[in-house]
Structure 1
Amino acid sequence: MPTVAIVDGVKIQFYWDDHSPAHFHVEHGEYRAQIAIDSLSIINGYIPKAQYRKVVTWAKPRKSELLKAWIQCQSDLHPGSIG
């Protein structure tokens, strides 16, 4: 599972050939969640609100990059990093 970014200690990751809807995974300590790219809402799991807000603030201007990374992973291509 490639890590495309780390936002204030929260890993932003994608899984190869993952299920729809388009989403990314976040990991912070023992917390894990999946966040939908279109709505930036948590679709599975849990992450503390403070970290969730930081991830959403980071992800909003990068939605198109996140979607591109998700599509690349669906084709077994490495998504690279997202700044």
Structure 2
Amino acid sequence: MIKILDLRDKDCPEPLIKVVRELRNISKNYDQLKIYTNIPTCVSMIKEALELIGISDIEIVNIGDDYEITIKIRDRY
């Protein structure tokens, strides 16, 4: 199952905090977390933070003015 966080129009660090909080509390029923944002600096901040905590299975896709960040959850972070 996929958990979706729509963080469009939210300035960082709010999206970053929400992503980290969600990863800490995500149910075992989910195998992916999809994040939507339209702020490029948030994409960079989220990607860097995820890599720092050891999450490397990240896919970032630009869709028009938006970005879709997909995190595949294999183990619990």
Instruction: Flag the structure with more relative contact order, 1 or 2, with Cα contacts below 8 A and sequence separation at least 6.
Output: 2
Assess same fold via TM > 0.5: no
Q: TM-score, normalised by structure 1?
A: 0.27
Q: TM-score, normalised by structure 2?
A: 0.28
